[in-house]
Amino acid sequence: MMRFIIEKRTTKSKYSVFIVPLVSFAISLLLGAIVLAASKANPFAAYKAMFEGSFGNIRRIQYTLREAMPLLMCGLAVGIAFKLKFWNIGAEGQYVSGAIGFTWVVQFWTFLPPVLLLPVGLLMGIIAGGLWAGVPGTLKAQWGVDETLTTLMLNYVAIGYAEYLYIDHWKAPFGNMGTPKFPDAAILPSVWGRVHAGVFFALALVVILWFILYKTRWGFELNMIGKNPKAARYQGVSIKKNIIMAMLFSGAIAGLAGAIHTSAVAQKLTTGVNGNYGFTGIIIAWMGGLNPFGSIIVAIVMAALSTGAGQLQIALKLPEAMGAVLQGLVLLPLLAGSLFNEYHLRVIKKGAE
């Protein structure tokens, strides 16, 4: 007879940070295989099709990377709020606000010289996203209003407002929805096929965030607040100020992501502006262990799961929604697995007692 005991670790394991996500990912592939088999699909064929769909040729790799960029940026955005245990699940709305802000500048600030359209537009995206996040941040800091509700609800406000704009108020004279296409000067150039210049922003943000979180006094304070707010306050760190600042920063990044993606990919404000990048960003931040560099890999994996899903449909006649199912399955084992960062399993043989 054997018994299993889950015991608290007495020291942090150096390897669990890497092994836990890897094993969790393997388990999620297994769970996915069960779901695929239940849908009468050969799991091996399905995974092969997905891999080919996302990395099968250069165009597909470029497409996957293009999808990974907004995911990475939204992951970074919510990650900084999560450091504070501030549950910003409103990156989606902040992303959409950024897209609206960008559209407003590039479509209507006709007095700007063309060369300034892009920088001012992106800046407006940053400001719009930041303000959209600053509202729940301020509500929380000043009056303790629960942020999960406010950030979530503001998503639907932003999405609804964007819809109103591209269906009615800002609609182009032709067609039934969407603003006119942006002027050329407002479109981020490509650097490698479908991969556009947004990649520089995304990678720069990774480095900047890593530096802020791990090297600066502000990062130290955010870490203290996230791990023990009472202790942080006792050490003279202002919690209110930091919540508001972190949320402005978080929203600014999500807003920039929205502005960049709208500029380079959709090239107008239209349906599909809320691409779920903000929601998937939550998963990315968690799986990346709130580490900016970790988020790069996770963002690419999550992007590949969604771009590969298209191939499932073509090759195996499976619904494209299967991709979303598989994405969701990635999160569960990982959340369960994070237990093993703090605990470990001990096997006890009955006779030894």
Instruction: Give the residues lining the site for another protein (CB under 8 A).
Output: 7-12, 215-220, 223-224, 227-228, 230-238, 353
Sign of CA dihedral 38, 40, 41, 44: positive
Select 197 or 239, whichever has its Cβ closest to another protein.
239
The number of beta carbons lying within 10 Å of the beta carbon of residue 95 is 40
CB of 330 to another protein, least distance (A): 26
CB of 278 to another protein, least distance (A): 28
CA distances (Å), origin 29, targets 15, 18, 46: 21, 17, 11
Select 55 or 343, whichever has its Cβ closest to another protein.
343
Q: Which amino acid is at 92?
A: E
Select 40 or 230, whichever has its Cβ closest to another protein.
230
Task: Round to the nearest angstrom and report the end-to-end CA distance of the chain.
Answer: 11
Select 142 or 190, whichever has its Cβ closest to another protein.
142
**Please, what is the Cα angle at 245 between 275 and 295, to 5 degrees?**
45
| Dist CA 121 CA 107 (whole Å) | 9
CB of 73 to another protein, least distance (A): 24
Select 42 or 235, whichever has its Cβ closest to another protein.
235
Tokens of 163: 């819809």
Would you say 270 and 176 are in contact if contact means Cβ atoms under 8 Å apart? no
| Dist CA 349 CA 346 (whole Å) | 10
CB of 149 to another protein, least distance (A): 24
Select 59 or 227, whichever has its Cβ closest to another protein.
227
| Dist CA 198 CA 201 (whole Å) | 5
Residue 75: CA count within 13 A, CB half-sphere:
31
| Dist CA 150 CA 87 (whole Å) | 10
Select 173 or 236, whichever has its Cβ closest to another protein.
236
CB of 323 to another protein, least distance (A): 36
**Please, what is the Cα angle at 127 between 125 and 129, to 5 degrees?**
65
CB of 12 to another protein, least distance (A): 6
CB of 209 to another protein, least distance (A): 15
DSSP-assigned states of every residue in 258-273: HHHHIIIII-S--TT-
Select 59 or 240, whichever has its Cβ closest to another protein.
240
CB of 244 to another protein, least distance (A): 15
